């Protein structure tokens, strides 16, 4: 099989990813899809004026894009908290060596999770910059993978990533795009480096980059060849785990499911086709239609001054400054118009679809209601305390944290202090003044500890963002030394450098 072979789950999901991306991008992308998203009516031919007018009249309601913006915006309402540990400070402002800040990287990863439900992060090393960096791969670029049991654990044994390189042509003006595939696999460290397969001994990571071969004229052929091979190194030796982290709504790994916004996307496309039919019906039925009875096809005409028209056999032209004479006394001209009562069911359905889209989007954010449940019901409800968005945020946090730790392993052994946590407080829930007074009074009366009070103040957005309970306690001891803040002695060093 060639290197560009696709995993069977990739092939099954590709059309859904394309559909979700089109819906998220909006009207221009959807209409570029033509009949893929809006079928022609009976009697129409694709590419003709009739179909193009039908397509132009359709209006895309941007529910999918708004849902994505709302969900991602809610999660990024507060910046993530993180500790880069041994990684350089420059990582915060430039996570991918393309000037993407780490917070923006987190936003991009979360958006991919919301729209298509699959994304990957590769931890790489730059000899030129002498530092590690992250590379984000979209779902469509993670084309193949293999999971195997090695050393008693299920691990990623191979992953194939599609990339596009851009090089300047010989004339110095035209940019040439070349497709290549990066293959990361575990190989047996005891075998020859050209031997593949699931390793039986100690595994190490091998990276091969494939590009198409070129013929004598420099044109690419259908054959692939390895143009680069290397073995990523950690601080202490070879990598023994592939430094690539894949994430889906089900967690870290390759367990692909429908995109989280797919229900909204389906309703959005249904609304699109229904609105196109509605606009088409308005076009043909909303305007008066002239008709005549007892009138010959050709009729002699005189102008407004009573003079004969130059063309004695002109067709009857509605709205023209002409006077028509009919020999038949029973002849008549009239207009027919469809009553708007026939359009009401279509308008009602469009409004109903908008409501359904709003409900489907809100359900991604809302937390499931707590209620009295049997033990069996609790087991069936696997994630009853969290919203879909909260699950996506937690998986995104884990993916970025693990990728940062892979980056840290290039230069240090201990990466346990590297941490990354995204906000899960999605709604504006600032505590009222009355609630804050009651909370403080409860603490003063000994109802709960200072830590409990401060935790609730944080949840109610009544503290300085980023300040810990120990830092706040130390500040209070300086400003109000006689205040009783509990039995524990705070570390006064935490106030150094704080204002």
Residue 48 phi/psi, 5° resolution?
-85, 170
pLDDT band at 231 (very low <50, low <70, confident <90, very high): very high
Averaged pLDDT score across all residues of the chain: 82
What dihedral angle (degrees, nearest 10) is formed by the CA atoms of 234, 236, 242, 246?
-70
Q: Is the pLDDT of residue 419 over 90?
A: yes
Least confident span in 107-116, 246-255, 337-346, 355-364: 337-346
pLDDT score of 91 = 95
d(CA 453, CA 110): 32
| pLDDT tens-digit map of 133-188 | 999 999 999 999 999 988 788 899 999 999 998 887 777 788 888 899 999 999 88
Q: What does the block give as tokens for 100?
A: 């993407």
Q: What is the pLDDT of residue 490?
A: 45
* Closest by CA position to 325, among listed 294, 299, 345: 299
> Minimal CA–CA distance to 267: which of 149, 352, 194?
352
Q: Where are the domains of the chain?
A: 288-336, 433-495
pLDDT for 311? 52
Contacts of 110 (CB under 8 A, 6+ apart): 72, 75, 76, 392, 393, 396, 422
**In 3D, which of 220, 216, 373, 269 has the Cα closest to residue 21?**
269
Model confidence at 246: pLDDT above 90? yes
Element (H, E) at 136: strand 131-138
SS3 114: helix
pTM for this predicted structure: 0.76
pLDDT tens sequence across 278-287: 888 777 776 6
Which residue is listed with tokens 């969290």?
A: 386
Angstrom distance (rounded) from CA 394 to CA 113: 11
Percent of the chain whose pLDDT exceeds 90 = 43
Q: How far is CA 247 from CA 95, 256, 295, in A?
A: 18, 9, 73
* The pLDDT of residue 492 is above 50: no
| DSSP characters over 140-164 | GGEEEEEEEEETTEEEEEEEEEEEE
In the three-class reduction of DSSP (H, G, I as helix; E, B as strand; rest coil), residue 286 is classed as coil
The dihedral sign for the CA sequence 438, 440, 442, 448 = positive
Beta bridge partners of 398: none
- Residues forming a β-bridge with 126: 131
Question: How remote is the C-alpha of 498 from its chain's centroid?
Answer: 38
Q: What is the pLDDT of residues 65-77, one digit of tens each?
A: 999 998 999 899 8
Question: pLDDT digits over 97-128, tens only?
Answer: 999 999 999 999 999 999 999 999 999 999 99
Q: Are 193 and 178 in contact (CB under 8 A)?
A: no
Structure confidence by residue, pLDDT tens digits, 462-477: 788 778 888 887 877 7
| Range list of β-strands (E), 151-276 | 153-168, 175-188, 203-214, 220-230, 244-248, 251-252
Q: According to the model, what pLDDT value does residue 369 have?
A: 47
């Amino acid at each position: 099989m060639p290197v560009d072979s696709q995993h069977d789950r990739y092939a099954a999901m590709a059309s859904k990813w394309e559909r979700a991306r089109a819906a998220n991008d909006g009207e221009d992308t959807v209409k570029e899809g033509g009949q893929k998203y809006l079928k022609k009516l009976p009697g129409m031919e694709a590419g003709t004026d009739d179909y193009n007018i039908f397509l132009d009249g359709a209006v895309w309601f941007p529910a999918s894009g708004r849902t994505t913006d709302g969900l991602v915006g809610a999660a990024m309402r507060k910046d993530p908290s993180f500790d880069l540990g041994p990684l350089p400070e420059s990582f915060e402002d430039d996570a991918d060596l393309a000037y993407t800040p780490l917070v923006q990287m987190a936003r991009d990863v979360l958006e991919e999770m919301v729209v298509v439900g699959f994304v990957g992060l590769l931890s790489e090393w730059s000899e030129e910059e002498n530092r590690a960096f992250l590379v984000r791969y979209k779902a469509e670029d993670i084309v193949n993978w293999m999971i195997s049991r090695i050393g008693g654990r299920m691990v990623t044994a191979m992953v194939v990533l599609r990339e596009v390189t851009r090089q300047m042509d010989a004339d110095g003006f035209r940019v040439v795009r070349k497709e290549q595939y990066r293959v990361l696999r575990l190989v047996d460290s005891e075998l020859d480096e050209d031997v593949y397969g699931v390793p039986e001994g100690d595994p190490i990571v091998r990276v091969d980059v494939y590009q198409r071969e070129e013929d004598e004229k420099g044109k690419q052929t259908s054959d692939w060849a390895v143009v680069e091979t290397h073995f990523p190194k950690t601080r202490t030796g070879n990598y023994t785990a592939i430094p690539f982290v894949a994430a889906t709504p089900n967690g870290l790994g390759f367990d692909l499911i429908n995109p989280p916004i797919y229900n909204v996307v389906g309703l959005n496309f249904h609304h699109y086709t229904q609105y196109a039919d509605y606009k088409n019906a308005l076009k043909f039925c909303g305007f008066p239609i002239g008709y005549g009875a007892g009138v010959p096809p050709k009729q002699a005409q005189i102008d407004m001054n009573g003079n004969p028209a130059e063309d004695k056999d002109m067709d009857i032209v509605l709205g023209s400054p002409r006077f028509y004479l009919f020999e038949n006394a029973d002849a008549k001209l009239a207009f027919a118009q469809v009553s708007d009562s026939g359009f009401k069911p279509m308008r009602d359905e469009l409004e109903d679809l908008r409501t359904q889209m709003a409900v489907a989007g809100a359900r991604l954010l809302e937390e499931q209601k707590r209620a009295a449940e049997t033990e069996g019901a609790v087991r069936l409800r696997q994630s009853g305390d969290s919203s879909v968005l909260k699950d996506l945020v937690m998986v995104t946090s884990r993916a970025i944290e693990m990728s940062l730790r892979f980056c840290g392993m290039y230069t240090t052994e201990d990466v346990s202090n590297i941490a990354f946590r995204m906000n899960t407080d999605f709604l504006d829930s600032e505590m009222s003044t009355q609630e804050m007074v009651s909370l403080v009074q409860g603490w003063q009366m000994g109802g709960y500890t200072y830590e409990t009070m401060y935790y609730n103040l944080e949840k109610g957005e009544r503290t300085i963002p980023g300040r810990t309970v120990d830092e706040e306690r130390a500040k209070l001891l300086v400003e109000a030394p006689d205040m009783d803040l509990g039995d524990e002695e705070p570390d006064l060093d935490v106030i150094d450098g704080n204002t």
